[in-house]
Chain A
Amino acid sequence: MMPAYQPAIGAPRVAAIAHPFGRPYGDVGDIETQRAVLRAALQVLVTAAPGHVAHLPFRWPEDPKATKWGPDEPSPIVATMLRAQRRPSP
């Protein structure tokens, strides 16, 4: 989902996909997409050269801004950052 990290982490092969965090293989109950994504990732395992990033053609049906992927409660680090932003400057 975040192929830009490949050089920093040295992943041997990357199957990049424009799916939201929390649902990399597809939506709940979407058996066809889940199977197609796994099949495509396995093909990357078979065919990719070292460090290659294959951009898979799957597209998420919802607009990113309308896609719920984050937790209801901000993660601890995000909550900490939000508190720091709200603190008045000295």
Chain B
Amino acid sequence: MSDASEVDSWRFLPPRLAQLLKARVEATPTPTPFTPLAVPLSAARIALLSTAGISCPPDPPFDMETERANPMWGDPSWRRIPASATAADVEVNHLHVDTRYAKRDLNVVLPLQRLAELVAAGEVGSMAPTHYSVMGFQLEATAQLTQSAPAIAASMRAEGVIGAVLAPV
């Protein structure tokens, strides 16, 4: 029986698409890696990560044309987003969600201004100089897992990041 206080994963999906995606959930469970936060949040450097397909010109946008030609493929690369970025500084490319909201207010997917406010209030230790985006449509995620994810983690470590919040779109 479902609990009304629990988030329904399929709430916003049409029934047929929900049924299709539920089949993917039934895949073999993956081990859960875990590292406790080493310092209090008020002393931690935090980075944000979004799957919205955000890029900052002159960096190239995420590749939508190849996906249009091959609908099973999604661009597995990653992009750096400076902490000062706003909607005026970025492109958002993702063919599976309405990107107009993020183009009007980047904080709906990557709340850099809200994180800066929590740092200013002393709730969070500091904001990483760099934040990150990938493009979340990955039916076959090997390249993202073996190339982009380690590169992002290395960049975070180099900037002294202690914790990260990843928000899927």
CB–CB A80/B32 < 8 A: no
Question: Given the complex of chains A and B, what is the CA–CA distance between A3 and B107 in angstroms?
Answer: 21
**Residues 108 to 137 of chain B near chain A (Cβ within 8 Å):** 108-109, 111, 114-115, 117-118, 123-124, 137
Binary contact readout A5-20 vs B (1 if CB under 8 angstroms, 0 otherwise): 1111111110011101
| Interface range, B side | 35 or more
Q: Which 8 A-B pairs have the closest CB atoms?
A: A76-B71, A10-B30, A50-B34, A16-B7, A22-B97, A4-B9, A51-B32, A2-B9
Interface of B is mostly: loop
Question: Given the complex of chains A and B, what is the CA–CA distance between A47 and B87 in angstroms?
Answer: 31
CB–CB B32/A11 < 8 A: yes
Most B C-beta atoms less than 10 A away, residue of A13, A57, A80: A13
Binary contact readout B1-16 vs A (1 if CB under 8 angstroms, 0 otherwise): 0000111111110000
CB–CB A3/B169 < 8 A: no
Question: Given the complex of chains A and B, what is the CA–CA distance between A22 and B100 in angstroms?
Answer: 9
CB within 8 Å for A75 and B96 given contacts A28-B104, A28-B108:
yes
Residues of A within 8 A of B99 (CB): 22, 71
CB within 8 Å for A70 and B7 given contacts A8-B29, A45-B37, A50-B32:
no
CB–CB B115/A38 < 8 A: yes
Contact of A12 among B34, B67, B139 (CB under 8 A): B34
Binds A, one of B19-27, B55-63, B75-83, B150-158: B19-27
Residues of B within 8 A of A35 (CB): 111, 114, 117-118
Using CB atoms, name the residue of chain B closest to A44: B165
CB–CB B109/A22 < 8 A: yes
Question: Given the complex of chains A and B, what is the CA–CA distance between A36 and B104 in angstroms?
Answer: 20
